[in-house]
Homo-oligomer: A and B are copies of this chain.
């Protein structure tokens, strides 16, 4: 075996990802040393409770509750605690101590990314976070490095496995949201408190990270428009299928160019209609995929497992090897490229297509009235389908009809004002749903 320099690695956190990272570091030590050009010595694992029951046979002497002491003197600190604090404090401590940081902490980067990257810049350290955006899928390096000479126009990502699992099962089984969520919880695909996933918070954090990289701009989390999937029901899925669509929770990051050539960006997370022939439509189960459109490269897609302990550990260890190689090669960290500083626009400025589903009185002139309101609101109709709904006691008139309107591209603000006017008009009984259509 080659005689390599030894680098001291500190691990913070021993959850699903952390214990796998420790396991693989110990198991494949020689192989990783050959690839990194350095021996990676796992100096310790900081946890809250050394005696907690763990599903792993890691040597007990590696565990410590003293993260601060462990960090001092380490070359690489792997932060897998999650959450903002104490992760933020320990990451800044690691950077100040001269270590490179590897983290999978999307919440931390989406809320305190600037602080962390600036701290690293000041001392020439590097922060690696391949696992923070789409689990095992290599997307950070492609955006940060491979596409650094191109101009990203749009990203559409399925970046949350739990919601994709739920929507996929709703689509294949015709089941309702609550039922599938309960099943997903029983199978471990969804957490007991599913809010972070189903309300789109997790996807929004990842969208902020992806948009920051793609547009070389610091995108704060509150610039990300966020809607979850809790209002998606079996009828919406069925109606989408009928029209040739599937509903996916998308993280959309888009570059907008105004008539005067000035540029801005839009970053948003919502359930959207995607044509069944689009590559994103065939992303099933808990898988993730990131579809990237760039001016020169054209359409690219990155597909794989978005979560899971061992899968995410793969991305973390790739970062550890990169950090080790940089330690051996010398030089300062190249830092984040955020000099484009594009402003993020509110959701009202977004231009996309929509599908509006209405229940209307089944009377002469109703379609003309609806079409008139749309036209006044500068929303142009592309397709329309009217079907008769059987009269029932909940319906105000003797007969109702369902109108499914597909629009041409419209401005979100025009669209939402128009929908309000439709809802207030005498002829519309109920606005059933308004969904964006993404992916040309």
Contact between chains at A315 and B151 (CB < 8 Å): no
Q: When A149-B320, A303-B303, A332-B330 are in contact, do A297 and B142 touch as well, CB less than 8 Å?
A: no
Which stretch from A45-53, A304-312, A398-406, A431-439 is at the chain B interface?
A304-312
User: How many copies of this protein are present in the complex?
Assistant: 2
List residues 17-53 of chain A with CB under 8 A from any CB of chain B.
20, 24, 28, 31-32, 34-37
Contact between chains at A314 and B330 (CB < 8 Å): no
Contacts of A387 in B (CB 8 A): none
> Nearest chain B CB to A397's CB is how many angstroms away?
47
Q: How many residues of A contact B (CB 8 A)?
A: 65
Return the CB mask of A316-341 against B: 1 if under 8 Å, else 0: 11111110011011111111010110
Contact between chains at A34 and B149 (CB < 8 Å): no
> Nearest chain B CB to A52's CB is how many angstroms away?
24
A168 within 8 A of B: no
A73 within 8 A of B: no
Which stretch from A133-141, A178-186, A200-208 is at the chain B interface?
A133-141
A382 within 8 A of B: no
A145 within 8 A of B: yes
Contact between chains at B150 and A318 (CB < 8 Å): yes
Return the CB mask of A110-153 against B: 1 if under 8 Å, else 0: 00000000000000000000100000111011100111111100
A88 within 8 A of B: no
Query: Could you say which of B150, B322, B333 contacts A145, with CB atoms under 8 Å apart?
Result: B322
A187 within 8 A of B: no
Contacts of A141 in B (CB 8 A): 138, 141-142, 145-146
Name A residues whose Cβ lies closer than 8 Å to a Cβ of B: 2, 20, 24, 28, 31-32, 34-37, 130, 136-138, 140-142, 145-151, 216, 279, 282, 294-305, 308, 310-311, 313-322, 325-326, 328-335, 337, 339-340
**What are the 10 closest A-B residue pairs judged by CB atoms, nearest first?**
A149-B317, A331-B331, A138-B146, A138-B142, A296-B314, A330-B331, A297-B314, A148-B321, A300-B304, A34-B339
